Structure 1
Amino acid sequence: MTTVIRVVLVDDQALFRAGIRMVINSQPDLEVVGEAGDGREALDVVAKTRPDIVLMDIRMPVMDGIVATTELLRREHPPRIVMLTTFDLDEAAARAIRGGASGFLLKDADPEFLLAAIRGVHRGSSVIAAQATTDLFSRFAEPAPKRPDAFAQLTHREKEIFAFAARGLNNSEIAAREFLSEATVKTHVSRILAKLGLRDRVQLVVYAHDHALI
C-alpha cells in the first residue's frame, strides 16, 4: 500500500494555491489536506490536519511565514516546512532555514521539481535546491563562531563527506568521488548528522556555513 504524503498549502494568493493543489493532487502518493491564506490561519489548519509537509509562503498578511514557521516548529512532532519565495536569494528564507525549515522553493519552480522536493523532504534525506541554498548562506553569512567541539568528533572520512554534502552533492555524487557505495555514504551521512545533532542535510548546509567549515 502506497504511503500518501499529506501536504498543507499556505499562501495568500488563492489562484496560486489552486495551481499547486492541482499539481500535487495529480500524484497518487501526494494529497493536499488543507490550505490557509495567512500564517495565523495556517497554525489552526496544521493543528487540525497534522500534515507531513507544509509549503509556506514567506510574505503574507496578518502573520507572515517566518513567524508561523517558528510557531509550528515549537510544537510537538512538527511537520517539515518548505518556504516558498519569489526571490532566488532571500534573506528571509535564510532566517527560516536557520530556524528549522527544511529548505525553500521558488514559486516558479517546475512542477516536476516541486514534486521531487516534497518527496525528498518527506524522506528527510534531500536538500532542496542545494546549490541555491549554498549561495543563499554565502550571501547572508553571519560572523562565524569558533569551530564547535562536536565537529572534532568526526573521523577524517566523515569530515571529507561532510564537506561534499555541505556543497550540495548527493549520495551518488559523493560515492563516485570517494569510490564508495551509496549505502556506505548514506551510513556516513547518518552518523555525521547524529554526532552534530542535526536533523537533515539542509541543517548540515546551514551548520557548515554558520561555522565557516567550507
Structure 2
Amino acid sequence: MTDIRVAVVDDHPVFRLGMVALLSTLDGIEVVAEASSAAEAATAVTGDVDVVLMDIELGDGSGVEATRDLLARLPAVRVLMVTMHEDDDALLASVRAGARGYLVKGAGPEEVERALRAVAHGDLFLGAAVAERAMGFLASPRGAVPAVFPELTDREREILDLVAAGHDTATISRRLILSPKTVRNHTSNILTKLGVPDRSAAIVRAREAGLG
C-alpha cells in the first residue's frame, strides 16, 4: 500500500528520471507527478501529493520561490529541497521558504529514502553534508542583520544589507536564491520607503546605519 505520494521537480531530465527510478523501488512510496520547471510544478503538484522533491535551481526560476508559492497554495505539502549547493545562503533561503528538508544531490539512496520519509512525517531533515555547517551558521551572529529601518520588511532589510556591501543584483539573486526581477522589485520598494533617489543614496543611508 502506498503511504507517501511524491512529486519530483527538476529541470535536469537525467537526474529527474534517475530519482523517479530510485523512488519506484522503495516500499510505500509512489511518484505521482513530475515537473521540469516552476511553471509545470504549479499545475502538476496537487493536494494528492505528500512530498515534493524540489530542485533549488529551475530553468525558469528559483526552486525557493516555487516552494514559497506552492506552500501558499497547498500548506499541507512537505518540500524536500534537492540541490548541488551546500552554502549557507541557499540553506537559509530554503528553510525560510518553508522547506522541511535540504539534501545535496550527491547523497546516496539510503540517505534519500531517510530524508523523504522524515520530511513526509513532519520532521526537519538536513543531509549529513550540511547539518554540521548549518548548526554553526544558526548559532553564529553573522547571519543576523541589525534591526534598523523598521519600515522595511526582513527581506528588504536583508537585500539592503547586501546592496550596502557592494553586491549587484545578479550576485544578490544568486545568494538569496531569488530571481533578478524579484531583487529589482524589492530594491525599488526599498528606495521608495527610504525616500532616496537611487542605489547610491540608499548605500550611504545603509552604511550610516551600520549595514553592509
Q: Tell me, what secondary structure is at the counterpart of 2:125?
A: coil
Match of 1:116 in 2: 114
Instruction: Return 5+ residue gaps in structure 2 as ranges.
Output: 148-212
Identical residues among aligned pairs (%): 35
- TM-score (structure 2 length as normaliser): 0.61
Higher-Rg member (1/2): 2
CA distance in 2, matches of 1:144, 1:124: 29
Q: Which residue of 2 aligns with 1:43?
A: 42
The C-alpha deviation readout for 1:155-178, integer Å capped at 9, x for no partner, is xxxxxxxxxxxxxxxxxxxxxxxx
C-alpha deviation, 1:28, in angstroms: 2.3
2:23 maps to 24
Cα distance change on mapping 1:116 and 1:28 into 2, 3 Å = same
Check 1:139–1:15 CA distance in 2 against 1; reply closer, same or farther (3 A cut): same
Change over 3 Å in CA distance of 1:63–1:126 after alignment to 2: closer
Equivalent positions of 1:121-160 (< 5 A) are: 121-129=119-127, 132-136=130-134, 138-139=136-137, 141-143=142-144
Q: Distance in 2 between matches of 1:144 and 1:125?
A: 28
Tell me if structure 2 keeps the 8 A contact 1:58–1:93.
no
Structure 1 distance, partners of 2:126, 2:95, is 11
Give distance in 2, aligned partners of 1:35 and 1:123. Answer: 21
Query: Partners of 1:76 and 1:17 in 2: how far apart?
Result: 22
What RMSD, in angstroms, separates the aligned Cα atoms of the two structures?
Answer: 2.4
Q: Residue 97 of structure 1: CA displacement?
A: 0.7
Q: Which amino acid aligns with 2:79?
A: I
Q: Tell me whether 1:96 sits opposite 2:97 in the alignment.
A: no
1:124 CA drift (Å)? 1.3
Identify if the C-alpha distance between structure 1 residues 145 and 120 changes in structure 2 by more than 3 Å, giving closer, same or farther: farther
Letter in structure 1 aligned against 2:52: V
Alignment gaps of 5+ in structure 1: 147-214
In the aligned structure 1, how far is the partner of 2:71 from the partner of 2:7? 15
Shift of 1:137: 5.9
Shift of 1:132: 1.8
Counterpart in the other structure of 2:82: 84
Aligned to 1:52, which of 50, 53, 56? 50
Query: Scaled by the length of structure 1, what TM-score is found?
Result: 0.60
User: Contact (CA 8 Å) 2:2, 2:30: kept in 1 or not?
Assistant: no
Secondary structure at the aligned position of 2:133 is classed as: helix
Deviations 1:170-198 (Å, cap 9, x if unpaired)?
xxxxxxxxxxxxxxxxxxxxxxxxxxxxx
